[in-house]
Amino acid sequence: MRSFRDRDYLITPEGFIFAVIGNLHPADRVIGYLKYVPDEFGKWGRGRQRFRRALQHYNVPSVLDSMRFLASKAPQYLFESSVDNVTLPAVPTDAIVEHLRPEERLLQLETAQHHDGLEDKALRLVRMISEEAKVRAKSMGVTGSILAGIHDPAFSDIDLVVYGFDNALRVRSFLCEPSGAVGRLAGASLEKWITERVNSTPLTRQNAIDLLARKWNIGLFDDTEFSVHAVHTEVEISKRYGDDRYLWLGIVDATAKVIDTKESMFMPAVYRIESVEMKGKFPAYTVDRIVSFEGLYADIAKEGDQVSCRGKLERVESHSGIEHRILVGSPEARGTDFILPSHARG
């Protein structure tokens, strides 16, 4: 049965548009960040309704800003999680007016009689990826402002999803060697991406350049910026929300060797690690993985890479025992955390 998936959109009675985070959610609500809010002067819109971005950047400080907005305007969308032991933005299921699914939006575009320039370009990109990567179009979808129907062809970009592990591998293989109308970020788009990362993360300019070289899922298609995001299907999810519980121990700096990256394409991105060395007062803990809720750090390290990171050290309690992980993208780190392959340091 189709449940709530990463990068679905939810619309509330207030007209707030939330973007779903991950595939694991409590029974009575869906975890997601506030992305757009109604604003008569907003740049985005559909019909007479206009919206502005509630999330200025895709990072934790911007999410915290949006949560402060919710705390003052709509606190019912804040959730005190006993599983994660933090406050999270989340939409109660009885407050969901619309559940927007990327694959359904793509089907709407495919069957529509008329498209604007951006919708037409998104369809052409999907068809190219589908043909070249040998992935059925019904295993893909359109997210972002096109999913919400509030895009503007003058400045909006194309955000796609690909469902399923094997499909994601095939799409990654194709996009790792772009050709024809598909290319890497260049020119103004390249400089904008680098500048935004330098201004909103702890990365240096060289860090950003080195990470971008490892990012296969963003680029240009006919001079329009695009992204592609891997999303698990329900049959690939073995855990339920609450199977693991997390306790914050502190913020740590560490180095480690990556030994498994199979889950690093998804949200959250998971890197299995060994040979971990932690600085400071936590050297005795055995840590077996780095987990990132920052999409910037998804799929940027390979098996065998040495990485350095800063993140939230957590105790993970489950039926199978107790483990420890380093989490990147936590409220506690407030945007100071990161993952970098060792030769990508500044």
Q: How many domains does the chain have?
A: 3
Same domain, 91 and 114: no
- pLDDT tens profile 222-243: 999 999 999 999 999 999 999 9
Instruction: Give yes or no for a contact between 232 and 266, defined as CB atoms under 8 angstroms apart.
Output: yes
Q: Which of 58-72, 217-231, 291-305 has the lowest mean pLDDT?
A: 58-72
**CATH assignment at residue 288:** 2.40.50
Q: How far apart are CA 233 and CA 76, in angstroms?
A: 29
Same domain, 126 and 218: yes
What is the pTM for the complete model shown?
Answer: 0.95
Same domain, 47 and 67: yes
Q: In the predicted model, is pLDDT for residue 345 greater than 70?
A: no
Same domain, 205 and 139: yes
- pLDDT tens profile 122-170: 999 999 999 999 999 999 999 999 999 999 999 999 999 999 999 999 9
Same domain, 281 and 329: yes
Expressed as residue numbers, the domain containing 43 is 9-100
Does any domain span residue 3? Answer: no
Same domain, 112 and 202: yes
Same domain, 115 and 29: no
User: Average pLDDT in the 69-98 region?
Assistant: 97
Does any domain span residue 31? Answer: yes
Q: How does residue 1 score in pLDDT terms, banded at 50, 70 and 90?
A: confident
Same domain, 322 and 222: no
303 φ/ψ angles, rounded to the nearest 5 degrees: -60, 130
Does any domain span residue 176? Answer: yes
Does any domain span residue 4? Answer: no
pLDDT of residue 47: 82
Of 234, 260, 285, the residue that ends a domain is 234
Burial class (CB in 10 A: 0-12, 13-18, 19+), 273: buried
